[in-house]
A and B are shown apart, each in its own frame.
Chain A
Amino acid sequence: EVQLVESGGGLVQPGRSLKLSCVASGFTFNNYWMTWIRQAPGKGLEWVASITNTGGSTYYPDSVKGRFTISRDNAKSTLYLQMNSLRSEDTATYYCTRILGAQDYWGQGVMVTVSS
């Protein structure tokens, strides 16, 4: 059974940093691109970052480029999202996902609240 389990969320002040982790199991982690997607309270889905299976390439929308960094440790089957210079608009549930294929998996999500 595929599982994606996120951790690391919480309340953080504007301008500070937070690092999310996602432990994957049930599939060969280093065969797949991985993606972070977020959803602000009561809002739609927003793609945040993707990383290729080797970690050699990463992709971001302009809204987080330069502030967020996606990375992975294939030996630990773990995906990360380093979030710096956090803003109130980054408040959201963050999902670790394996998407863009016939089989599609999402974690349960982890809440990040940016507030003073």
Chain B
Amino acid sequence: DIQMTQSPASLSASLEEIVTITCQASQDIGNWLAWYQQKPGKSPQLLIYGATSLADGVPSRFSGSRSGTQYSLKISRLQVEDPGIYYCLQGYSAPFTFGSGTKLEIK
């Protein structure tokens, strides 16, 4: 099974700061990587699909990148509405696996 190692587990940053979250895949997953944001009591919302493509309606301050088997989500200028828990998901092969999540807070 493919393991997704997500870091950091939690993160506190100031408004307008750049934030980066990473997921390391245990093997090649190509671009089959998605990023989600989840707010308390809500269903997760897709931010990035195909490792680098921005989902519809997602602000352009969110971006995804890939370097080999390491995937990153970057928030270029943290905004007040961005706190939540962020997850990566590999959809390359079943069993599909999520990262363990990153809790993002405003400092």
Contact = CB atoms under 8 A, between A and B. Distances in A.
B55 A102 contact: yes
B56 interface: yes
B43 A106 contact: yes
Interface of B: 1, 32, 34, 36, 38, 43-44, 46, 49-50, 53, 55-56, 85, 87, 89, 91, 94-101
Looking at chain A's contact residues, is the secondary structure mostly helix, strand, loop, or mixed?
Answer: loop
A50 B101 contact: no
Interface residues of A, number: 21
Contact of A50 (B32, B87, B94): B94
Contacts of A60: 94-95
Given A102-B49, A102-B53, A102-B55, A46 B43 contact: no
